[in-house]
Amino acid sequence: MTSFGLVPFIVLATAGPRLVAVPSAPSNGCPNAAQVADALRARLPDAAVPARMELWPSARDILRSVLEVAPDGTLVRFSLVDSRGDVQLRRSLPTAVRGDAEECIALAEALAAIVERFLDFPDYESRQDPSLAAPWPGTAGVAPTSLVAGPAANDRGPRHGGLSLYLGGTLQTGDQTDYAAHLGAGLEVGRLRVPIALTGSVGWAMDHVAELASTRSTLRRIPIRLGAATQLPAGPGVFEPTVALGIDVIHVTGTTPQPSDAMVLVTEDWQTRPILEGAVGYRIGFGPRLFVRALSGAGVAFVRYEVTRMGSPAVLQSTPRTYLMAGLETGMVFR
């Protein structure tokens, strides 16, 4: 989701099953976390992942399992919580009367079957018996802490789509140092096996002026980028690798004094050059919307543009064939 966009013909990842992190607590109750975890692994071997976040695969949509036992021990509640802390599935079942191992295992297998059906049919949540979702006695209006903690506070990445708008600046090295400001937007595509954001931006670079033997040339560059990026959660934020295709619109004006009548010849030229860029950004969220992103990368131009002095092969200035870049962006996400 950097300003360097990505190729418009990028192939999006195909939709696949979401992953479910097995519960790690409580150790008592019927069923307990270990029994539910075993049932999930047995029924969903390709979708169940360990409870520890550091063992989760990168760039995947992970649903956390939360298992709770009612204060009076008569009900067990199972929830699936996404990366933003939103409950995607919640089911309540009566606990086994005698607490026999076979009965507890049967309840755990029933919960695993519910999860399997939910993964196949996400709207399954709407068919829940409303009475099972009612607050437990003595807990009305109190959200379990296990349901609101997690990576959502740090904006670890979009999982359900959204729009981001950002403003930034980049420093580009090449034949000469170049500064550019840009305005961009990103469209986050949710519910994919690999998170993808399609991006676009337009900018305005600083003017470059060159003089040679009374000839003066002013070069202006307008960078336009389209592209996409993926996300790799790391630490308090996410890495965002990006590949981009775009164009630089080059506008050059020149003035050359004429020997007769003290006249000045003014020339103007418009050119475009295709660009391929790759960059890696690191984004940190501040609250549910605001984010800051630092990025660095490199680019290559398929066409090198040179400004020559009229009537002479002398080069006044030129655009680079390859370059390095670094930048900083800030923006907001709307989901």
Question: Residue by residue, what is the 3-state secondary structure of the chain?
Answer: CCCCCCCCCCCCCCCCCCEEECCCCCCCCCCCHHHHHHHHHHHCCCCEECCCHHHCCCCCCEEEEEEEECCCCCEEEEEEECCCCCEEEEEEEECCCCCCHHHHHHHHHHHHHHHHHHHHCHHHHHHCCHHHHCCCCCCCCCCCHHHHCCHHHHCCCCCCCEEEEEEEEEEEECCCCEEEEEEEEEEEECCCCCCEEEEEEEEEECCEEEEECCEEEEEEEEEEEEEEEECEEECCEEEEEEEEEEEEEEEEEEEEECCCCCCEEEEEEEEEEEEEEEEEEEEEEECCCEEEEEEEEEEEECCCCEEECCCCCCEEEECCCEEEEEEEEEEEEEC
Nearest-angstrom CA–CA distance, 62 and 120: 15
- Model confidence pLDDT, tens digit, residues 97-118: 555 778 888 888 888 888 888 8
Domain ranges of the chain: 19-150, 162-334
Specify the fold of 162-334. Porin (2.40.160)
Identify the pLDDT of residue 259. Answer: 65
Q: What is the pTM of this model?
A: 0.54
Give the residue-averaged pLDDT of 84-109: 79
Give the residue-averaged pLDDT of 86-91: 86
- Model confidence pLDDT, tens digit, residues 105-158: 888 888 888 888 888 765 555 444 444 445 544 443 333 333 333 333 333 343
